[in-house]
Structure 1
């Protein structure tokens, strides 16, 4: 077996970059470790400015032919990639779980099928993308979506392949070429995606994968003058750095950043439903940007809500994510575990009370935690923890609920639990959030716009919004006369 192949959960994964249709090794590597047991999975090629330049050059060279490829052919190739994902769904699920610690059952049943759906959805949307012509003083306006050029896509570690393909699929459908940089804590399924795309017949250079650290390979990618779009999902500090890097070239950005989303529980809500929604926020060990980590409960029902919540939380099983019965897996990395623990320790020292949890488990696990007696201006309420840590506060009326919900620098999502449809309409209209769920959570459709307000991001993606970003939207205005008759 090649020294550049590693076997993860019985699946062979190439540890090299994928540039211009070829596997390219770097002189140095970085170590990829499983969060499940701390075992070393692979030594991954560690990209530098040289690999960044090569990847952008390959994407630039491939762009004219790919941009000129008819929509139907681009759509066919995206469906072929989806077919490849479905054929290798079990392998992808096993590798992803081993690499990032999320539940195997979720990868099998939801996440990897969604990866395939990302490609199919944008392939189909491409074929339907249209804007009706309209007239201005007899002149015809015709709107088109023209491919923009090479794109740099930088993706996170909490749902690596699903969130990568949420960007890759619309960019390819739009006629752009792509340089994908996966997170260094979970790079393996991006490498498998490169194989799948090549097997599907995607032309060389249309999809490139470069691995490594942001400071070493991400910076030269985002600062490259030939890059026409940058899409990033991750933290606010990193987004600021990327935006500054892109500013010199005025490269358009799409940023999906953190959240500190509220769950508002009104006294007229179905409390069992509301408690279930709250416990659902522990999904993926709390490593979900959309998670409603701030639970706001109307005071008269706070005690009963807490009782129901703790009962449901007690039924959760934390352990090996490869086991069917596990509900909560490990934290992705020792550094992230230390960050989570630091947030909770400081909150407890400041007077917070742990209703449940409040401490580490064994290994790389953090026990699901609910903190109460927290101040609105405290760090634990204002800053994103990105772990299985929730806070509970009470409110007296609708105005206070909205004020508390909106009182952070974020605005990614919000959830409302109420039995009053009129109240739901009033409250949702006042909430600052890109997505609001009422009596439900995490119901998402690719046709809907997705993104955040305030420090939770810039721009919207999904449906036509994705094509608006990944394309140069053009309007052609034609006079009613002036053409010569060649008949």
Structure 2
């Protein structure tokens, strides 16, 4: 590592902020370490209110020019950014795997292609965004989506670049300028994104990136009077703090928060499919907000389901995420390992039984865990663990299944396995969730609305819903030619 740069997987990454089209260093740094082996991989500029304020100021200066840029030109630049992502896809995949520990094969085949798609999708959607004019007593109503202003986007560590660009792309497409604050546990691919956007011709100040701890720069970003939108993905306690900071300026918020999603398995389901869906919840070491961590299985098939689940889960290989044969990588940070283990230990002490797992492995690896004999009101059932820990409960009919599924403070997603289409329709209509999957999981189209109910969030993004959030909607009413108003 040299001053202001580090080399990860053969890729040189600048460790400074990106503000107003320039690299900006902070006097202090923080250490970024790889979850694979705990080794330091970079000394990252540690932002303060000074850098946060400078980034918002740069975004404010750049906003009029970018807002006035034609839709076609904005779309062209977003496609150029996507080209840059695809050109550096292998580098991005390797760096992010070292930085956050997710599987390299997933980054190569799914995550980084999705990063490019985020930019292409919103670039193309922008060019088709329109509302049909309508008449009121001969007057014409014309609806437009106007750029709102500088946006602060705060993103998590579990899918750093994909979730960042899920916000950055529509915000830029809408004509806004952006201040991105990536998670301090996985900041490196955001820095590479800055390089890619500059090479694509994005004007200086349109995208700014400030690194650091939320406790040190968060308030300066979220309470700033020049910020017109805030989008955050993360925990409920942090969201409360952000909402309080934004309240003084009435800054609109989009919050995608935690989940404690259920997987309902009915006796008429394809059990092999249901087991595959359940084991899939260990993806990314369980560090997925949408994960269906509560397995709710009809009593008649619970024993057989559990037997097949254990057999299937026992074949999972946990280890170095850079190896093709690995199914489960490490947990992001030692603090997260301790948090997960605390949940499991308290559950076991309260009477839960570990069918598999129930303990940490070496380093930052936590064994895939399935807990049974858990009470509905217990912490392990009610609170988000964000690790490879599932619980299994049984039910005797649709009413009990729906009650158990809805009986938490969350409502992000739900998954349903059944062979009866009519049952699927009845049950999904009663589930409280932003997304429901029937006999599938994690099928996501950017055209669809995404977000959570209850404590899982506020608002929806995706397709036109993203532009509804990142824009000020305006209705212009024009009188017919020659018409005079007599009030």
* C-alpha separation in 2, matches of 1:31 and 1:134: 57
Q: How does 1:409-420 map to 2 (within 5 A)?
A: 409-420=409-420
For residue 64 of structure 2, what is the aligned residue in structure 1?
64
Structure 1 counterpart SS, 2:274: helix
Q: Secondary structure at the match of 1:440?
A: coil
Does residue 315 of the first structure (1) align with residue 319 of the second (2)?
no
TM-score (ref. length: structure 2): 0.99
1:136-174 CA distance string (max 9 Å, x none): 111111000000000000000000000000000000000
The corresponding residue for 2:127 is: 127
Residue number in structure 1 paired with 2:21: 21
Q: Match of 1:328?
A: 328
Aligned residue number for residue 386 of structure 2:
386
Q: Distance in 2 between matches of 1:457 and 1:29?
A: 32
Cα distance per residue 1:2-26 (max 9 Å; x no partner): 6111001100000000000000000
Residue 426 of structure 2 corresponds to: 426
The answer to whether residue 73 in structure 2 is matched with residue 73 in structure 1 is yes
| Partner Cα distance (2:435, 2:461) in 1 | 12
Query: Are 2:271 and 1:282 equivalent residues in the alignment?
Result: no
Q: Distance in 2 between matches of 1:101 and 1:32?
A: 13
1:200 matched to which residue of 2?
A: 200
- How big is the shift at 1:483? 7.2
Q: 1:236 aligns to what?
A: 236
- The answer on 1:357 being equivalent to 2:362 is no
- Give the secondary-structure state (helix, strand or coil) at the position aligned to 1:461: coil
SS of 1:57 mapped into structure 2: helix
Q: With structure 1 as the length reference, what TM-score do the two structures score? A: 0.99
- Kindly state the Cα deviation for residue 481 of structure 1 after the two structures are TM-superposed: 3.1
1:397 matched residue in structure 2? 397
SS at match of 2:231: strand
Following TM superposition, the consecutive aligned residue runs of length 4 or more in structure 1 with deviations greater than 4 angstroms are none
Answering whether residue 106 of structure 2 is matched by residue 106 of structure 1, we say yes
1:165 to 2:165 alignment: yes
Deviations 1:378-408 (A, max 9, x none): 0000000000000000000000000000000
Deviation sequence 1:263-297 (CA, Å, 0-9, x none): 00000000010000000000000000000000000
C-alpha separation in 2, matches of 1:127 and 1:63? 20
Q: Residue in 2 aligned with 1:49?
A: 49
Cα distance, 1:449 vs. partner?
A: 0.3
Flag structure 1 segments of 5+ consecutive residues without an equivalent: none
Deviation at 1:344, TM superposition (A): 0.1
SS in 2 for 1:140: strand
- Residue 11 of structure 1 is matched in structure 2 by 11
Cα distance in 2 between the residues matched to 1:241 and 1:8 = 34
State how far apart, in whole Å, the 2-side matches of 1:154 and 1:434 are. Answer: 21
Q: How many residues align?
A: 484
- Which whole-Å CA distance do the structure 2 matches of 1:436 and 1:135 have between them? 37
Cα displacement string for residues 447-468 of structure 1 (whole angstroms, at most 9, x for unaligned residues): 0000000000000000000000
SS at match of 1:35: coil
Shift of the alpha carbon at 1:215? 1.2
CA distance in 2, matches of 1:136, 1:37: 66
- Which residue matches 1:255? 255
Superposed CA offset, 1:287-328 (max 9, x none): 000000000000010000001111110110000000000000
Residue 306 of structure 2 corresponds to 306
Structure 1 residues 325-356: Cα deviation after superposition (integer angstroms, max 9, x where no partner)? 00000000000000000000000000000000
RMSD: 0.9
**Residue matched to 1:481:** 481
Structure 2 residue ranges without an equivalent (≥5)? none
